[in-house]
């Protein structure tokens, strides 16, 4: 079907044949990058980044960094991410005032947290460590700018078409000297002496490109990757926590599964079928975008059945429609945390994994443009959600119970975003030996 928007027409396709043709179309005819330029305005929001319509013209460095190098180092980052999650969550909750309680124990006090703000803080803190290393992750001004950058980019590109007011200069001013120094030292230092973070991955990968990237180019591309790395995982975390509150019967089941882990600080967390299935089902019912696999026609394109796409029009998949298709998902409007455990048999691999993308579950995109950072995004989501499950009780505030018909989210164009007032209550789990953290 066709949807008219003020900018152009969005043509939604969902048949197996149309999806295959969409993925097989030449990149200089149906282009993701042409649409990205229009939506995100990278020239203004990413320090002057020049994006070409053709994928090959933009290079594949970022794909190698995210889909190979970052993926291969997930276990290296696991323990630092868990430590960062623990300290940031305790700090953020400590700043909140407890709700009135008759209990003398501070561990019995519920704390009301604005959930989207908290989710962004948790994801941004972990990402800063993984992307830029420990030094910048403790730079308060840098972390603050990095946290605000995705929101400023969204507002600037989508509404104002203006340069973000503050975040980009701060990020660039901090990053450029570091990248310059690392590039200068890259030939003299051994691999063992080099930092292990995404910044270094980009430097190492760009040196092997046909045309080595400058420090400016590396910073520009990282700014582009950063937007998606904070915004989308934070939204998925919000909706997963909402579903924990909405379906509390899964809390103890998930805690029992987490209890089977021998080591909290390695890749065993990827072998928890219920945790995978719960996250995947939450995202199925609450995708942050209504559409997926967007491509803009640089030149007119005709599908095999005669469907014509004019220059400037956008072809996409109706993501919500596919994820709620009753022929694919029985009782598709009902939350079933075990849905993907049963579909996969054992639940540990194949279509049961949250990070996998198929035509039946195109959350991460499809084809050559499938999200290369989905393995990392899945890992940090699991780390944060697992830590909350093991260390805290969560529930909706009373006003949610009194206003169940009021949506906790709002829609802007194709996006679904939590309302600013949407909150969740946190309480330290009741264990006699634990004290409420003060720092």
Tell me if 51 sits within 8 A of 37, measured CB to CB.
yes
Q: If you search the block for the tokens 């007011």, which residue do you land on?
A: 165
Buried b (16+ CB within 10 A) or exposed e, 12-36: bbbeeebbebbbebebebbbbbbbb
DSSP helix/strand/coil, 175: helix
Tell me if 427 sits within 8 A of 111, measured CB to CB.
yes
Q: Would the annotation count 198 as a binding residue?
A: no
DSSP helix/strand/coil, 98: strand
Alpha helices by DSSP H, 247-334: 249-258, 273-285, 319-323
Mutual angle of helices 167-185 and 198-207, in 10-degree steps: 60
Distance CA 182, CA 202 (A): 11
What separation in angstroms does the CA of 110 have from each of 99, 107, 233, 421, 436? 6, 8, 25, 17, 12
Tell me if 37 sits within 8 A of 312, measured CB to CB.
no
Distance CA 103, CA 110 (A): 11
DSSP helix/strand/coil, 289: strand
What separation in angstroms does the CA of 138 have from each of 45, 132, 141? 24, 10, 9
Distance CA 66, CA 355 (A): 13
Which residues are part of a known binding site?
371
Which residues are part of a known binding site for heme?
371
């Amino acid at each position: 079907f066709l949807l008219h928007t003020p900018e152009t027409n969005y043509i939604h396709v969902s048949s197996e044949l149309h999806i295959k043709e969409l993925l097989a179309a030449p990149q200089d005819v149906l282009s993701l990058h042409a649409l990205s330029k229009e939506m995100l305005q990278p020239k203004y929001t990413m320090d002057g980044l020049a994006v070409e319509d053709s994928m090959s013209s933009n290079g594949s460095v970022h794909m190698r960094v995210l889909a190979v190098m970052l993926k291969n180092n997930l276990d290296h980052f696991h323990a630092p991410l868990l430590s960062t999650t623990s300290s940031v969550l305790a700090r953020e909750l400590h700043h909140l005032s407890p709700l009135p309680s008759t209990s003398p124990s501070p561990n019995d006090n519920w704390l009301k947290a604005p959930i989207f703000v908290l989710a962004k803080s948790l994801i941004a803190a972990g990402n800063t460590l993984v992307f830029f290393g420990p030094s910048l992750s403790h730079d308060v001004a840098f972390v603050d700018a990095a946290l605000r950058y995705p929101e400023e980019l969204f507002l600037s590109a989508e509404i104002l078409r203006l340069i973000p007011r503050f975040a980009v200069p701060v990020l660039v001013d901090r990053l450029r000297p570091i990248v310059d120094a690392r590039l200068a030292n890259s030939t003299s230092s051994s691999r063992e002496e080099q930092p292990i973070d995404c910044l270094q991955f980009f430097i190492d990968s760009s040196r092997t490109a046909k045309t080595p990237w400058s420090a400016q180019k590396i910073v520009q591309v990282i700014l582009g990757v950063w937007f998606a790395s904070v915004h989308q995982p934070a939204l998925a975390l919000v909706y997963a926590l909402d579903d924990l509150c909405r379906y509390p019967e899964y809390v103890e089941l998930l805690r029992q599964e987490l209890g089977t882990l021998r080591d909290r600080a390695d890749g065993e967390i990827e072998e928890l079928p219920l945790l995978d299935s719960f996250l995947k089902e939450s995202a199925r019912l609450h995708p942050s975008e209504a559409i997926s696999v967007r491509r803009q026609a640089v030149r007119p394109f005709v599908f095999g059945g005669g469907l014509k796409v004019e220059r400037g029009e956008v072809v996409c998949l109706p993501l919500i429609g596919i994820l709620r298709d009753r022929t694919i998902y029985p009782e598709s409007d009902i939350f079933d945390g075990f849905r993907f455990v049963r579909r996969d048999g054992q639940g540990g691999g194949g279509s049961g994994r949250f990070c996998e993308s198929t035509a039946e579950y195109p959350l991460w995109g499809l084809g050559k443009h499938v999200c290369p950072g989905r393995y990392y995004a899945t890992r940090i989501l699991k780390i944060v959600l697992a830590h909350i499950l093991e260390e805290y009780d969560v529930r909706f505030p009373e006003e949610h119970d009194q206003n169940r018909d009021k949506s906790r989210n709002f829609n802007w164009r194709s996006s679904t975003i939590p309302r600013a007032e949407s909150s969740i209550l946190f309480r330290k789990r009741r264990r006699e030996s634990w004290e409420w953290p003060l720092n």
